[in-house]
Amino acid sequence: MQEWPLIVFTLLIQLSVGSTVFTTFTLVYAADRLHAQEKWRVAAPAMLLAFIAGALGLVASTAHLGYPLNAFHALSHIGSSWLSREIVFASLYLGVLGLTTLIALVSKRVVTSFLLLASLLGLIDLFCMSAIYVHASVATWMHINTYVMFYGSALSLGAITALWRISRCPWLPWQRARRIAVFCGGILIAVTLARLLEQPVYLAYLNGVSRDAVTFPHQPLVAFAQSGTLRLVAWVMLTAGTVITARSLQTHRIGRLQLLTGGAAVLLAEIMLRFNFFSIH
């Protein structure tokens, strides 16, 4: 399969944006409860992870474009191309996040307003990324399912990252940390349920698409029908990972082994679902 760069690119960018969004939420939610040093200790590692993931994602995207100069060529159509818009907002997102992370590492303080801006740019970038595929002539992509998948992946991976970061901060008062952890776990559960409930709508749409809808040389409907077992395994794994992650919050402190197991299951499920998404041959 030749689309591994796209799988890596989309998932890493979504992991980065999700992590940034949840880090921003943590700082805003606990603004009056954490002093500057505590904010830095909570946010700096997560911001560095988000930046590295985003940077690696952009590197992977150049592999798909063929060579880096193609990225500059794509920018010439920003007025009419979702790909051009995605490149612009991805670059702006990573630039603002990188600047915010650098400030945090050098001055040991987090500029929350910059992080909020990075989150907004990241969410816009995800919209542009989704629109690229929704407006492509591939039947299995031309549905709201693409938006649900991309935003769902970002929120799921971001929630897992946030929970892991909180679990690594034993110095945080548990009552304070628990509220944030429960919120992250609740988002993970809600997103997983929303994605599962959206699947019948998506399948009904595909059943209504003409079997003659072929984008040469791709046959997305045939490929989709042939990958049913992979999708079933992925959805079961995603659900199981969500349940295990939620159970990790039932102890006095976050159960790291359960969180690691649940998080790994969610990540593997996302990779499988994304592999299925890009399997159109």
Can you give the pLDDT at residue 215? Answer: 59
pLDDT in tens, 202-256: 999 999 887 665 554 568 888 888 999 999 999 999 999 999 999 998 877 888 8
What letters, b where the CB count within 10 A reaches 16 and e where it falls short, cover 149-186? bbbbbbbbbbbbbbbbbbbeeeebeeeebbebbebbbe
Can you give the pLDDT at residue 72? Answer: 54
Q: Supply 268's token pair.
A: 């593997």
Q: Looking at domain 4-278, which CATH architecture does it have? A: Up-down Bundle (1.20)
pTM: 0.91
How far apart, in whole angstroms, are the C-alpha atoms of residue 185 and residue 163?
8
173, pLDDT greater than 60: yes
121, pLDDT greater than 70: yes
Residue 20: which of 41, 51, 42 has the closest Cα? 51
145, pLDDT greater than 60: yes
Question: Where residue 34 falls among pLDDT bands split at 50, 70, 90?
Answer: confident
How far apart, in whole angstroms, are the C-alpha atoms of residue 54 and residue 89?
12
Can you give the pLDDT at residue 281? Answer: 72
Can you give the pLDDT at residue 253? Answer: 80
Q: If you average pLDDT over residues 70-83, what whole number do you get?
A: 64
Question: Where residue 84 falls among pLDDT bands split at 50, 70, 90?
Answer: confident
Domain boundaries, the chain: 4-278
143, pLDDT greater than 80: yes
| Percent of the chain residues past pLDDT 70, beyond the cut | 89
| Rama region for 79: left / alpha / beta (φ>0; ψ in -120 to 50; rest) | alpha
For residue 42, the number of C-alpha atoms closer than 13 Å in the C-beta half-sphere is 30
Question: Where residue 69 falls among pLDDT bands split at 50, 70, 90?
Answer: very low
Q: What is the mean pLDDT of the chain?
A: 89
Amino acid, single-letter form, for residue 138: V
Q: How many residues does the chain have?
A: 281
Q: If you average pLDDT over residues 254-268, what whole number do you get?
A: 95
